[in-house]
Structure 1
Amino acid sequence: MAPVNPGKVVARRLLDEPQPAPAGWKLSTLDELGPEAFNQIMLRASDGDPYDTSTAESAEDDFRELVEAAGTAFDAGSWFVLSDAHGDVGVVLPQVFPEDLTTGTLFYVAVLPERRGEGLGRAVHAFGLSELARRGARSYVGSTDPDNTPMIAIFEANGCTLS
């Protein structure tokens, strides 16, 4: 079973068949963009997020820690920046667990500050869940801070059971 941080709200669900990305979305992967450009977009996405502690100074180390945590299951073609006709929407890092490839999580899911309030968080999270299924995962486990009501609402909207 995947590790879960104590003191967090834990979300779980079984995964459905993979679905296509929402119409009009452009998908760019870490593999395509390269670490530097990808990191910059992740840092932009974390701006104003009280639950993300990355800074310009720590972003590279934070990113390296995520890659290391992915272990042998890391796939640079499966971490995404999502865009639409209005520009960048957000980022999502679907990751299966190296010790159990049938279970996955989203290492990071965020909507860029200028796109928040448009209802995109649910779609970004749902896309991430679909990508986990595409990689062979059958179940999802995620977590967030108990005060992160927007993320808790996204979990609920996407059919997760909370504990």
Structure 2
Amino acid sequence: MNLFNRIEKDNEYWLVDQVKVDGVTEQEYVEVFYTLLSSWKEKQIGYLSLLMDASYEKWLLEEGFRKVSMIVEYTRKLDETFPAEQGITVTALADGMMADSDFALLYERCRSGSANKNKLFTIEQMMESLENELGTDWRTHCYIFRKSGEPVGLSIPIIEQGTVDEGRLFYFGVVPEWRGKGYGSAFHRISLNLLQRIGATTYVGSTDEANRHMIRIFEQNGCRLRDRKGIYRIDR
């Protein structure tokens, strides 16, 4: 039984996410995580970033973790297709209408000024992680939103690791000067349609609990609160 998803990058980091399974006790989670933590220490990996239920926080702090933030998860069934958004065009990076370097600049603009506190990577590391985690066809997952020809946002819809139909957004963002105008909700609806196109039947989205703008987008587009998890980190 898989109780923790893990993404590894050489000796640099492990990204670990608790998988909540009905009927599994807290003690079972602790025992499995102890084994994982021991392996991380033995391999001398740079750091471990963990998403885990806040009920374990006292124990994690005693084990040497520090709390970074708290995230909220929202979900909804993908059982309807949203109508097309007037005046917004959507292209994939794989279409060749934007260079990878320009996509990286757009990505960085979308990340700037974010309320999310867990900023682990530089934009260079984020671009590298796209191929590492999504494979050689990563450009087919990357979509650019344009208004009057101007790139104003992006979305990277994927199927969650270890599932066949759980849709996630590897990243979703709007450039600062276009925020607060309703485009975030529109781009999110388009992203939900894109998830359906790649076979997702359920959507799960997460954001920092301080990111009220993204939470409003979730709620406006029919998502409901599913869970809260703490973000914790330990360094070698």
Q: By the TM > 0.5 criterion, same fold? A: yes
Normalising by the residue count of structure 1, what TM-score does the alignment of the two structures yield? Answer: 0.85
Q: Which runs of 4+ in 1 moved over 6 A?
A: none
The alpha-carbon deviation at position 19 of structure 1 amounts to 4.3
Counterpart CA distance in 1 for 2:198 and 2:81 is 9
Q: Which has the larger radius of gyration?
A: 2
Instruction: Write out aligned runs for 1:5-20 (5 A).
Output: 5-6=51-52, 7-19=70-82
Q: Secondary structure at the match of 2:145?
A: strand
Counterpart CA distance in 2 for 1:139 and 1:156 is 15
Change over 3 Å in CA distance of 1:84–1:64 after alignment to 2: same
Looking at both structures, which has the greater relative contact order when contacts are Cα pairs under 8 Å and sequence separation is at least 6? 1
Which structure dedicates a bigger proportion of its chain to strand? Answer: 2
| Residue 121 (1) aligns with residue 184 (2) | yes
2:131 alignment partner, one of 47, 67, 70: 67
| Residue 76 (1) aligns with residue 139 (2) | yes
Q: Is the 8 A contact 1:45 1:110 kept in 2?
A: yes
C-alpha RMSD of the superposition: 2.5
Aligned-pair identity (%): 33
CA offsets per residue over residues 68-96 of structure 1, 9 Å max, x none?
23358x54223111001162221111111
| Residue 88 (1) aligns with residue 148 (2) | no
Change over 3 Å in CA distance of 1:54–1:124 after alignment to 2: farther
Partner of 2:59: none
Structure 1: stretches of 5+ with no match in the other structure? none
Could you tell which deviates more after superposition, 38-47 or 26-35?
A: 26-35
Q: Is the 8 A contact 1:18 1:134 kept in 2?
A: no
Normalising by the residue count of structure 2, what TM-score does the alignment of the two structures yield? Answer: 0.60
